[in-house]
């Protein structure tokens, strides 16, 4: 379970300039401000992570561009009241390091922060599923020849069930589809996925899919 690092400074920028209850629950020392006055917030002290709540009616790229120059050097997570995969893609294209629902639970916000501050990207489940599926399709289009036996060394430390879960996931299946295919619960699937990510020392389902499909090497 992720735990908030009280020494880190989180700056929440939004149209009304106020902290939402869930933001405060996740980051008790968090600061709030408006985009227009964000430059002053950045100069007043260290900021480790910027959270940008999108205003309605403006493209996400424009809103990220409006950030003060100091803040553009700091990792940014975009918060959306009505998240979509298309908006998420636009946010990442504009330089965001994460994208999630404005009203996400406090524990999820803490997890998002942990991933982004460690240099990763936080990608929503729906968009991640699309990327994993695309990876699987690209692999299928690239070759019809089975990978050589040594290409499956990724699975040497996995149990039989974990290998089944990883292989099914890499073909673009959701947790629900994996559960149905293997006759197990979604909760069990989630536990197996977590164990596989830990054993292979990879950050997310996309990187796992690349490894299973022979497009990447395991990274420590």
100 and 171, same structural domain? Answer: no
Q: What is the pTM of this model?
A: 0.65
- Beta-carbon count within 10 A of 109 CB: 26
pLDDT number for residue 146: 45
The verdict on 92 and 31 lying in the same domain is yes
Is the Cβ–Cβ distance between 160 and 182 less than 8 Å?
A: no
Question: Which of 58-72, 114-128, 133-147, 171-185 is the least confident region?
Answer: 133-147
Per-residue pLDDT tens for 198-213?
A: 898 887 777 788 788 7
* Alpha-carbon gap, residue 211 to 200, rounded angstroms: 9
CB 175 within 8 A of CB 190: yes
Instruction: Give yes or no: residues 63 and 34 share one domain.
Output: yes
CA-CA-CA-CA torsion sign (110, 101, 98, 178) = positive
pLDDT digit string, tens, across residues 45-81: 689 999 999 999 899 999 999 888 888 889 999 999 9
Domain that holds residue 22: 10-123
- Closest to 116 measured CA to CA, from 141, 148, 92, 145: 92
Residues 6+ apart with CB under 8 A from 100: 77, 78, 79, 80, 83, 108, 109, 112, 122, 124
What's the pLDDT band for 150 if we cut at 50, 70, 90?
A: very low
For the domain that residue 145 is a member of, what is the CATH number? 1.10.10.10
User: Residue 31: its pLDDT value, please?
Assistant: 92
Q: Distance (Å, rounded) from C-alpha 179 to C-alpha 193?
A: 12
Give residue 35's pLDDT.
75
* DSSP three-state, residue 26: helix
Query: What is the distance of C-alpha 212 from the center of its chain?
Result: 20
CATH number of the domain encompassing residue 65? 3.40.50.2300
d(CA 106, CA 112): 10
C-beta of residue 181 within 8 angstroms of C-beta of residue 98: no
Q: What is the dihedral of CA 43, 8, 10, 48, to 10 degrees?
A: 60
Residues 113 and 28 in one domain: yes
Cβ atoms of residues 201 and 207 within 8 Å: no
How far apart, in whole angstroms, are the C-alpha atoms of residue 55 and residue 101? Answer: 13
pLDDT at 176 over 90: no
pLDDT digit string, tens, across residues 11-26: 999 988 899 999 999 9
Domain assignment present for residue 2? The answer is no
């Amino acid at each position: 379970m992720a735990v908030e690092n009280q020494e880190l400074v989180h700056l929440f920028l939004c149209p009304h300039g106020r902290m939402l209850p869930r933001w405060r629950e996740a980051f008790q020392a968090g600061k709030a401000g408006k985009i227009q006055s964000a430059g002053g917030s950045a100069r007043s002290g260290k900021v480790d992570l910027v959270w940008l709540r999108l205003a309605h009616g403006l493209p996400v790229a424009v809103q990220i561009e409006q950030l003060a120059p100091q803040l553009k050097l700091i990792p940014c997570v975009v918060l959306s009241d009505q998240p979509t995969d298309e908006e998420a893609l636009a946010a990442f294209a504009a330089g965001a390091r994460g994208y999630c629902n404005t009203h996400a639970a406090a524990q999820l916000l803490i997890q998002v922060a942990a991933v982004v501050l460690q240099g990763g990207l936080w990608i929503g489940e729906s968009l991640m599923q699309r990327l994993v599926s695309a990876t699987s399709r690209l692999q299928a289009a690239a070759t019809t020849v089975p990978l050589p036996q040594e290409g499956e060394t990724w699975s040497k430390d996995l149990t039989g069930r974990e290998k089944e879960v990883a292989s099914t996931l890499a073909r673009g299946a959701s947790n629900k589809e994996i559960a149905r295919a293997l006759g197990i619960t979604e909760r069990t699937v989630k536990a197996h996925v977590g164990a596989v990510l830990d054993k292979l020392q990879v950050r997310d389902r996309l990187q796992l899919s690349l490894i299973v499909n022979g497009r990447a090497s395991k990274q420590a």
